[in-house]
Amino acid sequence: MKTTASTTDTAFDLPHLGYRKRCAAERAKAQRRMARRRRPKGAVPSKGYLRAKRQAARIEKKAARQNTHDAREWAAHVVDAHHLIAVEDFKPKFLARSRMAGKAADAAIGACKRELIYRGTRAGRKVVLVPPAYTTMTCSECGARANRRLGLGIRIFDCAACGYSAGRDVNAARTILATAERDRASADDIRHSIASLRDGGSGAVRAGNPLDSSVGSR
């Protein structure tokens, strides 16, 4: 995982910096110090154990604060530059059952999503939550849908119908934005009219007046 949040314009992507992974060695050191000072169950904890416990907690909080700060800065950057913000309404809990569980927890994906929605709503922007069904499988260029699900290991989307090729997340972000721009319920509805993207429709962030631009995020 290199990107926590992908958008239709790479200039607004949120990179995955892995703060918790960076703090892992320091946290493990404090936890080993706790283990050496642990007393039998029921005994009063030693001052050294409590000191090591507080240090481990501080390290964990530091990583969480860094993630929160980055999410706020990113959300403010996106909200300031766009009037319409389309967000994939996915539930990050499913990642806990995948091989990406550790990185997903480190990236705090759910917190980034909440921050973007909160700041967009507070700023008076139009924030649209798009159901995640078929967003990854639908071609943002012609609207055709892939015949099979794309596993997490497949990072490039290749359309068999029109030959369009793009990053998996970029294609999904464009589909999400097209869905929101046409006030559709989901990607299942938008695939029938997404071909109009070729005739002046916007599948990416538009330059110019911030209040006339839009972005799709996943």
Give me the tens of pLDDT residue by residue for the chain, a chain 218 residues long: 677 888 888 888 888 777 777 777 788 888 888 888 877 777 888 888 888 888 888 887 887 788 888 888 999 999 998 988 988 887 766 665 666 555 555 556 778 888 899 999 999 998 888 888 888 888 888 888 888 888 878 888 888 888 888 888 888 888 888 888 876 655 555 554 544 444 444 333 322 233 334 566 66
In angstroms, the CA 131 to CA 179 distance is: 10
pLDDT of residue 119: 92
pLDDT of residue 183: 66
pLDDT of residue 205: 36
pLDDT of residue 79: 92
91-100: list long-range contacts, CB under 8 Å, 24+ apart.
98/152, 99/152, 100/1, 100/152
Strands (E), the chain: 3-5, 14-15, 84-88, 126-130, 156-158, 165-167, 214-217
Rounded to 5°, the CA angle 76-197-84 comes to 20
Question: What is the identity of the amino acid at 152?
Answer: L
pLDDT of residue 101: 58
Domain ranges of the chain: 3-217
pLDDT of residue 33: 84
pLDDT of residue 123: 92
CA distances from 87 to 1, 35, 154, 172 (A): 19, 44, 22, 11
Instruction: Give the predicted TM-score (pTM) of the model.
Output: 0.67
pLDDT of residue 217: 67
Parallel/antiparallel/unpaired status of strands 214-217 and 14-15: unpaired
